[in-house]
């Protein structure tokens, strides 16, 4: 399956760049442990990361003199096409940096090693990260979680006080109630609408089930999901939702931009938002802001490491993949990849070992909350659900919020559109 990579995960690879300048392969248990293997990263060969990888490879080869590692790096642009070309021509690297969507495409045609079967250390990694490489229609798991991202909630306490509350909302329903009270005073505070994928966070926040893809079909047009969209339509009529939320349905950063202007009570953003964004773009707002954990089952953005099943040295490749993503090396990498989190449970137990020293107290709190959140965060949606499908759904939801179509019609049309896309 060839589909566009989800924006959030693609952004993670691009952010690192910006911030830092069916085979039938032999099983790992039966393959030889020596040989020369290739290792491919995605836009990480630069002044910041090159010394890290060169040192890591040197350490690995010292411990395993029978194995040599050849490092390859591909540009950020066109990575999906490059990986597909490599797979089709039988030149897939032995160890390869893949997001879950790409890994699914290759695992579906038998190109990746099942790590659940072949690795004894898969239990060391965060559950949501492993789950991102475990697919409903395939047996096994196909990637070691490597560097991860998530989102937290940030609040303007002054605007929240206008709702007559000093308590931070802990669920979406509590947020809606607060925003309705603020809207009564002429202040719209919700600046982003849910998309089909993010509806799962809204539903789990309210203690509801959030089915998405089942038995080969999309099924997120549930009665509970319809009620959520209807609630947003009510809030829009009462002035609790900004026009930008409707006009920019599916667009990124509308909520952050408005929050930075001091015109929104709440926003979601990454763990390093306080020091790296707010303190830079709206420093006067920093004292007014409080941070809290993400609602419901928060999102997880994942990059991982997979092993080619067509490798001539599967055992050696697996050994290097485990070394690359062990706790020690993940912590060292996360120190360079500021704002991202390691993929192992042990590494996230103490974020002080990898996170930048916080300038503002809220930043320290955000760092700690995000590390704790890794235990429950999950990747949104399903690998079958493309970015185009999510944007289409966001547009339909916006029409429903405006009152031009019903909430049920919006979700039914989105499910119909998405299921039709599966047949292409």
Which residue, chain included where needed, has tokens 């929050």? Answer: 259
> Distance between CA atoms of 324 and 320, rounded to whole angstroms?
6
Question: Where do runs of H (alpha helix) occur along 275-348?
Answer: 279-281, 314-324, 327-336, 345-348
Pairing of strands 213-214, 217-218: antiparallel
Which residue, chain included where needed, has tokens 């290759």? Answer: 106
Q: For position 13, what pLDDT does the model report? A: 45
> Distance between CA atoms of 411 and 116, rounded to whole angstroms?
35
pLDDT digits (tens, 9 = 90+) for 147-206: 999 999 999 999 988 878 778 999 999 999 999 998 988 888 888 899 999 999 999 999
Q: For position 251, what pLDDT does the model report? A: 60
The three state secondary structure string of 299-319 is EEEEEEEEEECCCCCHHHHHH
The closest of 116, 157, 127, 104 to 297, measured between CA atoms, is 127
Are 249 and 394 contacting, i.e. CB atoms less than 8 angstroms apart? Answer: yes
Segments in the chain below pLDDT 70:
1-32, 249-254, 424
Polymer length in residues for the chain = 424
> Distance between CA atoms of 277 and 281, rounded to whole angstroms?
6
Question: Where do runs of H (alpha helix) occur along 73-205?
Answer: 79-88, 100-108, 115-118, 127-132, 157-161, 172-183, 199-205
The interaxial angle of helices 172-183 and 223-237, nearest 10 deg, is 20
> Distance between CA atoms of 235 and 265, rounded to whole angstroms?
14
Q: What DSSP letter does each residue of 180-229 carry, written as one string? A: HHHHTTT---B-----TTTHHHHHHHTT-----EETTEE----HHHHHHH
């Amino acid at each position: 399956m060839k589909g566009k990579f989800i924006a959030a995960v693609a952004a993670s690879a691009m952010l690192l760049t910006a911030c830092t300048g069916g085979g039938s392969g032999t099983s790992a248990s039966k393959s030889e442990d020596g040989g020369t293997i290739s290792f491919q990263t995605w836009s990480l060969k630069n002044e910041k990361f090159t010394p890290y990888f060169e040192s890591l490879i040197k350490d690995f080869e010292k411990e395993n003199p029978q194995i040599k590692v050849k490092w390859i790096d591909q540009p950020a642009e066109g990575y999906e096409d490059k990986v597909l070309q490599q797979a089709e021509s039988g030149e897939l690297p032995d160890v390869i940096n893949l997001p879950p969507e790409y890994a699914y495409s290759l695992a579906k045609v038998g190109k990746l090693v099942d790590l659940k079967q072949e690795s004894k250390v898969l239990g060391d990694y965060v559950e949501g990260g492993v789950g991102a490489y475990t697919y409903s229609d395939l047996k096994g798991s196909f990637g070691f979680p490597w560097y991860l991202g998530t989102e937290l909630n940030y609040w303007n306490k002054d605007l929240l006080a206008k709702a007559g509350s000093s308590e931070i909302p802990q669920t979406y329903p509590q947020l809606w109630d607060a925003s309705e009270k603020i809207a009564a005073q002429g202040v719209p505070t919700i600046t982003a609408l849910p998309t089909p994928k993010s509806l799962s966070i809204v539903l789990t926040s309210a203690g509801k089930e959030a089915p998405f893809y089942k038995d080969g079909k999309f099924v997120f047009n549930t009665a509970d999901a319809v009620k959520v969209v209807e609630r947003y339509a009510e809030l829009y009529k009462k002035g609790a939702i900004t026009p930008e939320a409707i006009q920019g349905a599916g667009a990124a950063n509308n909520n952050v931009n408005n929050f930075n202007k001091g015109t929104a009570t709440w926003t979601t953003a990454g763990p390093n938002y306080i020091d790296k964004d707010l303190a830079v773009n709206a420093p006067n707002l920093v004292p007014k802001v409080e941070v809290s954990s993400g609602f419901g089952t928060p999102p997880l953005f994942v990059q991982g490491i997979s092993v080619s099943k067509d490798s001539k040295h599967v055992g050696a490749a697996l050994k290097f993949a485990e070394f690359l993503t062990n706790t020690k090396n993940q912590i060292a990498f996360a120190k360079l990849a500021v704002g991202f989190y390691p993929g192992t449970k042990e590494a996230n137990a103490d974020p002080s070992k990898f996170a930048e020293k916080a300038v503002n107290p809220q930043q320290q709190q955000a760092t700690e909350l995000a590390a704790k959140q890794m235990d429950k965060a999950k990747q949104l949606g399903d690998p079958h659900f493309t970015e185009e499908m999510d944007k289409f759904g966001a547009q339909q939801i916006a029409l429903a919020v405006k009152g031009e179509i019903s909430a049920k019609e919006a979700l039914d049309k989105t499910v119909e559109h998405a299921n039709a896309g599966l047949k292409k």
